[in-house]
Copies of this chain bind each other. A is one copy, B any other.
Amino acid sequence: MRGLMMDEPLTLAAILERASRYFPHIEIVSLRPDGTLSRIEYGALAKRVRRLARALQEAGLARGDRVATLMWNHSAHVETYFAAPLAGGIVHPLNLRLHPDEIAYISGHAEDRFLIVDDVLWPVYERFRDKTRFERVWVVPFSGMRTPPGAESYETLLAHSSEDFEFPEIDENDAAGMCFTSGTTGRSKGVVYSHRSLVLHSMAECMTDCLGISQSDTVLSLAPMFHVNSWGLPYTCPMAGAKLLLPGCGCSAEDLLDVMEEEGVTIACGVPTIWLGVLDALHKNPDGWKFRGPVRVLIGGAAPPQSLIRELDRFGLRVIHAWGMTETSPLATVGRLKESMREWKDDRKYETRSKQGYAVPLIRLRLMRPEGEAPWDDATPGELEVRGPWIAASYYNAPEAANRWSPDGWFRTGDIATIDPEGYVKILDRSKDMIKSGGEWISSVDLENALMAHPAVREAAVIAIPDEKWQERPLAVVVLRDGEHVEPAELEKFLSTRFAKWQIPDGFVFTKEIPRTSVGKFLKSQLREQYRDWHAPSESSKEE
């Protein structure tokens, strides 16, 4: 027997309509390249979305056609986020930080038909345009430049369109958006989100124990909109009626702190490296910024060192550690403490908060080992597998990657993790970053986080170095804080309070900067290449 409830599809139209009806005067604030702010309210945004959706259909957009974007985080990008899927198409944000050849490959693989590009990114587009075949390219005057010769103007497109447009009926399982993983091995793979998955994910982000996004929030969304939809926030904020602050094309930690203070940010979301920079700025100028109230800092994309959580707390920035991937939309786990942990000692609380957390509603996890499912004992590592209604079931046109799903349909994350009896996941490493030394595994992430707790250390990456005897040995690549100096022996001693001797890196090399991926994570493949031939100094040379 079927339920007798309305068959209402979960589509992005419900989000946009709610924002414009109940929160017409709530703003999206965009930071422009010249440092000024531009503002648009949800009411006005919804009208521009209708104009754009109509214009896209008039340009020939058919069901399922891809509209690519090459854009920073700002309100016109949000317009495309809604207009392409609500016109029946798919929005496909291109990762502008990739190599031009890779961007061209991705766009070709996705069969993008149209492109919307920021004026400041036109030079990036020019580096791969010969390898693409967009039918139309529209340029957004993000910095206010003149439209380049041969390009069409986004604003003219909207001006010639009309907001008198009814969105077509859409099935909730229709594709709405596409994001490619920035895989460090092999070709990028496309994840195709549905209207249903995006709506459910936004509901989850509004749940109190997840992110708790509400109409009282001002959300600073630092994750790029070409990286897992900026963690879904450009959809979640309009659903909740939250003010959305978009940081444009990169700004300093001081700029971020300024805008957080001025605009009354209540939750700011970004990868740990951003917050390491912010912490540095706060240390230099501890009384420089006053926030109106408590600020939640959502950290994802990589594990924050425990020291980062502790120190941001001291400045009134309360870290929420969450975990997810492009394939998980991304919200899969949140590292909030449970009520029953309220009376725990601080150390234990911080240790738990620095884990990835437990699954949000509707998401299921398991740890797999060759011999079967691993227990949740905080000790037995296994590969983390995940399933749920906003988890990818396959990549776009990539049958060769079918082995990323288990025979019974779980997504294999490629992360090696333990889970404790309370259900908190601790990711030890990407399986490829795990250091295999003499039959034992060493977690590079554990060593990095321990090193970053040292007062002189700003950043640390630990990589595997080939070793004849042990197969692999760890090497630490360390960036010191300005003006600090420390000897390798001191770091060795610092680690020895927590790690067994065989787990401690064979060496510590100091550098000015650690190379990063396009989304700000440590680019360990480059480090491994760079230090491939590194050898531990001999005992005699140590003595010198």
Contact = CB atoms under 8 A, between A and B. Distances in A.
Interface of A: 1-8, 10, 14-15, 17-18, 21-23, 25, 63-64, 90, 173-176, 191-197, 199-200, 203-204, 206-209, 212-216, 239-241, 338-340, 358-359, 361-362, 364, 387-396, 409, 411, 422-423
A6 B392 contact: yes
Contact of A2 (B4, B174, B395): B174
Contacts of A195: 3
22 contacts: A1-B174, A2-B175, A3-B194, A3-B197, A4-B175, A4-B192, A4-B194, A5-B192, A5-B193, A5-B392, A6-B393, A8-B362, A8-B388, A17-B364, A22-B358, A22-B422, A22-B423, A206-B209, A207-B207, A207-B208, A212-B212, A241-B338
A363 B16 CA distance: 13
Contact of A207 (B203, B390, B396): B203
A3 B361 contact: no
A393 B4 contact: yes
A193 B362 CA distance: 19
Nearest to A214: B208
B212 A208 contact: yes
Contacts of A208: 206-208, 212-214, 240
Contacts of A212: 208, 212
Contacts of A358: 22
A413 to B, nearest CB: 14
Contact of A25 (B207, B340, B361): B340
Number of copies of this kind of chain in the complex: 2
B5 A194 contact: yes
Contacts of A10: 362, 389
Contacts of A207: 203, 206-208, 214, 240
Q: Which 5 A-B pairs have the closest CB atoms?
A: A3-B194, A1-B64, A208-B214, A4-B192, A8-B389
A215 B206 contact: no
A246 B387 CA distance: 33
A126 B65 CA distance: 64
Contacts of A22: 358-359, 422-423
A426 to B, nearest CB: 16
A387 B13 CA distance: 14
Contacts of A64: 1
A216 B339 CA distance: 5
A209 B240 contact: yes
Given A25-B340, A206-B361, A208-B207, A191 B4 contact: yes
Contacts of A340: 25
A173 B203 contact: no
Contacts of A216: 339
Nearest to A18: B361
A63 B209 contact: no
Which residue, of A1, A194, A199, A212, has the highest number of chain B Cβ atoms within 10 A? A1
B214 A3 contact: no
